[in-house]
Chains A and B, each alone.
Chain A
Amino acid sequence: MLGIFLAVSRVDIPVSSNSLQPDITHLVRMSLIQAALTTFLSLSVGIALAWALNRLRFFGRPLVVSLFATAIVAPAIVVALGMIAVWGRAGWINQLLAIFSLGWNGSIFGLHGILFAHTILNGAFAAHILLARLQTIPAQKLKTGQSLALSPLRRFLVLDWPVISGALPSLGAIIFLLAFTSFPIVLILGGGPANQTLEVAIYSYVRLSFDLRAALSLALVQLVFCLIIVLPALLATPSLASSGTTRQFHWPDTKGATIAQWAILTLALAGFGLPLLAVLVNGIGPGLFPVLTQNRFWQATITSLSIGAISAFVTLVLALGLTTSRNSFSSPLMRAALALPAFAYLVIPALVLSLGFFLSVRALQIAPSNAAPLVLVLANALLALPFAISVLAPALDAINKRYAKTARSLGLSGFARWRMLEWPLMGREVGIVLAFGFCFSLGDLGVIALFGTSEFSTLPWLMFRALGAYRTNDAAAIASVLLLLTLIVFWALPPLMEKLSHAKS
């Protein structure tokens, strides 16, 4: 942000004589329409899917639930590629229709493609959050409801809606923000300037025409809109976290409702799971081996893994520092003040943050390629911070509420308290935060978009360049590696850290 403010005060920012002046009204209108529609559709899908998952019990349910949970970390560029693999002209759907001598002439590119991709990603994310909320309904309330023979509709209105509705303002705000600042999906599926958003326009003005003044004005407009639209909702209901889960009590709905729930689950699995499956199927095959022999692939992999690991560690340190200092204050005002800087990163788009760093680096007369590793680590750690805090804060609050007096009476503080009390009880949360930090960084295209070069590359950047050069086999292979790494880390790290923390306790 300092970079942006410095740049605003300077007059020697490059202005390209060739570039057109940005049509800010059109860009704002497109960004708003797209984000509003995405929010509405994603919340609707999220509520329906959470409802279905909450009611249905079947073999493999935990796997399905954790599959939808990956929506928050699945690299958007990979999902976009998966969408093309399923819904594109040569995609799975058309191949299937061809068997029956049918064809689908529609295109996945355009506003509907953007909305579809955003809805399956954000709908799955919303479902995960709302399902966690539904699982906090006390078993005794469910038993009371069942013994009162509440119909499925009445049950939803009386039991589910009160816990769901509390999360909708902040969840809606986050989804709006994710859609408003979405970059890879709009870039790949947008289908041209008509559907361009502010985020993609900023990228175009920096990378394609190097008109930093135009990019700066767009970044400021975007920041202002993010603040105006999102902050009130976040301040009204700042936390999405649900206060633990109760012992599971299963109360199945009537047959009609159960059929509807299966239909919703099947559609959601097809919508979210098929693109991911397509990425794996298309990527892991003969096309993978040529990529594995490329030196640049291994360089990008090492860069991605190193930056991801360091980002994850920095995210954890920053989040722990902020949450523990927040807990040492009893005044709600001080606690809110300490949390605010972290949550501010929710309203700062990756590309705008990247632009800020880009301008700062230029102002300090450092070559962007030299600063790139540090910028990538720092920017990705900061962008993951709000999510990390929303995981750590409720767990730390619960520990504090339960053990603060005992710990104080025993003189436990600082590192000793962390080692004896917090680490053994928070291993899983620490694992989730590390996974968030790692996966966000691994899938990042927003920050690398301004710093990536042919010499300094990460896996998403390499994949993006392969797509741009129509090397689709290479792109598919890199996408599958990215997806596999994301899934492995996201699924394995939390239980691994939980196990480690228990082993140490």
Chain B
Amino acid sequence: MLKVEQLTFTQPGQSLSYVYDLEVAPGEIVVVTGVSGAGKSTLLDLIAGFLSPTDGSLSLNETDLLPLPPEKRPLSILFQEDNLFEHLSVAKNLALALTANQGQENERILEALNEVGLGGYGPRRASNLSGGQKQRVALARTLLRNRPVLLLDEPFASLDEKTARDMRALVRCLTDTKQWHTLIVSHAKEDARQLADRLYSLCEGRLNPEVLQVQDPKINRWTPMRPPRATRQGHH
């Protein structure tokens, strides 16, 4: 279980403090929504270690993560853009996730690309990919890194609706099969409707639990893709 408890951050020169409390279970997707500037990305920066909190705790399966530098934390992070180094090939971008002694580099890269539906894209230059393909390559890299926590910062914001829907399905599928703890921050309602097992809204520096509402059967076409929440919770 990823636990964020009273994790506090105050921007220098600002009076408002952000205080975050939430939990993410294995195989669960938690979505945090909020308007621009509400502090969504700050939450991810704190968890990833790019910012240091002034107070509170952060743990994964009872292991304190706060003393660890970003590169040592057991997580992968994906942004809206700039996840890939565009002058490198897809394969080289993925190879950055592998340490030198892991061996069978090519096979593992190919396997990861197959898993996100981009087998054969290895030699292509990252700059020649579409927005959706770039995000899938970035997801393939998280597969290779094999870290138990996945943080997504507005990951589908720059994609068209069909591509975004495919990506959401992929994130859902990977979270289920890999039992990742997935935390998404997004201002898109679709992300919450289609992906969230639990939903929070961020307002005035505090996370407020929201009730998931099934509003329109058409919007919820994804529902059959995932087992009912109660069943999944029963697994853990």
Contacts and interface: CB of A to CB of B under 8 A. Distances in A.
A277 B50 CA distance: 39
A445 B44 CA distance: 56
Q: Is the interface of A mostly helix, strand, loop or mixed?
A: helix
A149 B71 contact: yes
A163 to B, nearest CB: 10
Given A158-B85, A158-B88, A162-B87, A146 B71 contact: yes
Contact of B71 (A141, A148, A158, A249): A148
A66 to B, nearest CB: 23
Contacts of A149: 71-72
Given A140-B82, A158-B88, A150 B96 contact: yes
A159 interface: yes
Q: For chain B, which range describes its interface: under 10, 10 to 19, 20 to 34, or 35 or more residues?
A: 20 to 34
B129 to A, nearest CB: 16
Interface string B83-97: 101011000000011
Interface string A415-442: 0000000000000000000000000000
B235 to A, nearest CB: 29
Given A159-B85, A162-B87, A147 B76 contact: yes
Nearest to B51: A249
A91 interface: no
Interface string B39-73: 00000010010100000000000000000001111
Contacts of B76: 147
A215 to B, nearest CB: 48
Contact of A148 (B45, B80, B96): B96
A148 B82 CA distance: 14
A114 B76 CA distance: 51
Contacts of A146: 50, 70-71
Interface in A114-143: 138, 140-141, 143
Interface in A28-70: none
Given A146-B70, A162-B87, A138 B82 contact: yes
Nearest to B153: A140
Contact of A143 (B72, B77, B85, B88): B77
A248 interface: no
A146 B73 CA distance: 11
Contacts of A150: 96
Contacts of B222: none
What 3 pairs across the A-B complex have the smallest Cβ distances?
A149-B71, A140-B82, A140-B79
29 contacts: A138-B82, A140-B79, A140-B80, A140-B82, A141-B82, A143-B48, A143-B50, A144-B77, A144-B79, A144-B82, A144-B83, A146-B50, A146-B70, A146-B71, A147-B48, A147-B70, A147-B71, A147-B77, A148-B71, A148-B97, A148-B141, A148-B145, A149-B71, A150-B96, A158-B85, A158-B88, A158-B96, A162-B85, A162-B87
Given A140-B79, A149-B72, A162-B87, 18 more contacts: A140-B81, A140-B82, A141-B85, A143-B45, A143-B70, A143-B79, A144-B77, A147-B70, A147-B71, A147-B73, A147-B75, A147-B77, A148-B71, A148-B96, A148-B97, A150-B96, A154-B96, A158-B96
